[in-house]
Chains A and B, each alone.
Chain A
Amino acid sequence: MTLWFLRGLRTGIVTTRYPAELDAWTETLPAPPRFRPELLTEQLADGLVDVCPFGALAREGDELVVDLGACTSCGLCVEHGAGAVVPGTVFELASPRRELLVKRVPIRGGP
């Protein structure tokens, strides 16, 4: 404690930084899913839109619109996605603008 105090006086550093590297356990935290466009068919995309209980998914033409802000990381789309949807790992999603949280996934699979 005394050493920390003296170091603070000497260097002027009074706080430690936000963790530059996250702890290993944070990998198990729920995070919004990620998508494989080449496995995503239009039929599957419509099914995913229906299965999302929070309206985080929508279909616009040949794109799947994913609203990370509305996503609760519940995993229903991963369960329903037949390999086209995989669990995500990034959970530090703070954004100064709402529209940055809306992502678009092209639908490339299917006939």
Chain B
Amino acid sequence: MTVSHDGLADELRRRALGLFARSLHIRTVDTGSCAACESEIRLLSAPPYDLHRLGFFFTPSPRHADLLLVTGPAVRAMDIALHKTFVATPDPKAVIAVGACALGGVYHEDRFVHGAVDRVVPVDVYVPGCPPSPIALLQGLLVAVGRLEERVSALSPIVDAGAGP
């Protein structure tokens, strides 16, 4: 599935991901992350978050996965592995970029890293944070399968003049 902002393509993509609304298998790919994101991803199966109750499961094989959670700044050494994982995941599939590194924040593009995951594979949902809290990850997963609306477009970076300190 490629990233396209055409109305029809978006609609098709949403419908395809809606198929996963009640059951989705996740494969994580680490492209040079510091493992803080991995630590938060592991916490998703802990009782306070419990992603299994929402129908999400981790799987060790990309061939059984519907969604890739990609962390890290996309180091070039992982190019082949990431491409093979992406190709091995059956369609329809989704990719979530997790963390500030994967979104292009921490590392600039150079000889060693691409600097952002969406320069290598098409990304469906971006989850910022360093590392993102498990709650933020859970929201990202639910946004990916269309069970929650994103909230960031309504978020204002400005504090009202009348508000307290």
User: Interface on A for B, CB 8 Å cutoff?
Assistant: 15-16, 18-19, 22, 26, 29-30, 32-38, 54-56, 66-74, 83, 86, 88, 90-98, 100-101, 103-105
* Residues of chain B in range 26-70 having any CB-CB distance to chain A below 8 Å: 53-55
User: Interface on B for A, CB 8 Å cutoff?
Assistant: 5, 53-55, 100, 103-106, 108, 118, 123-130, 132-133, 135-136, 138-140, 142-144, 147-148, 150-153, 155-159, 161, 165
Contacts A86-B159, A93-B129 given; indicate if A101 touches B103 (C-beta within 8 A).
yes
Q: Which residue of B127, B155, B158 is within 8 Å of A37 (Cβ)?
A: B158
The interface centre, meaning the residue of B123, B135, B159 with most chain A CB atoms within 10 A of its CB, is: B159
Q: Shortest Cβ distance from A32 into chain B, in angstroms?
A: 8
Q: Shortest Cβ distance from B144 into chain A, in angstroms?
A: 8
- Distance in angstroms between the alpha carbons of A93 and B55 in the assembled complex: 21
Task: Give 6 closest A-B pairs by Cβ, nearest first.
Answer: A70-B105, A72-B130, A94-B140, A69-B103, A103-B157, A92-B139
Contacts A72-B105, A73-B129, A92-B151 given; indicate if A35 touches B142 (C-beta within 8 A).
no
Q: Which residue of B53, B104, B118, B128 is within 8 Å of A93 (Cβ)?
A: B128
- Whether the pair B152, A100 counts as a contact (CB closer than 8 A) is yes
Q: Shortest Cβ distance from A70 into chain B, in angstroms?
A: 3
- Distance in angstroms between the alpha carbons of A95 and B125 in the assembled complex: 6
- Whether the pair B54, A94 counts as a contact (CB closer than 8 A) is no
- Distance in angstroms between the alpha carbons of A83 and B39 in the assembled complex: 34
Sample of 17 further A-B pairs with CB below 8 A, known A18-B54, A68-B155: A18-B148, A34-B156, A34-B159, A55-B108, A68-B152, A69-B105, A69-B128, A70-B103, A70-B104, A73-B129, A73-B130, A92-B139, A93-B127, A93-B128, A93-B132, A98-B118, A101-B103
Q: How many A-B residue pairs have CB under 8 A?
A: 134
Contacts A15-B53, A93-B152 given; indicate if A70 touches B100 (C-beta within 8 A).
yes
- Whether the pair A36, B159 counts as a contact (CB closer than 8 A) is yes
Q: Shortest Cβ distance from A91 into chain B, in angstroms?
A: 5
Q: Shortest Cβ distance from B89 into chain A, in angstroms?
A: 19
Contacts A18-B138, A36-B159, A100-B150 given; indicate if A54 touches B125 (C-beta within 8 A).
no
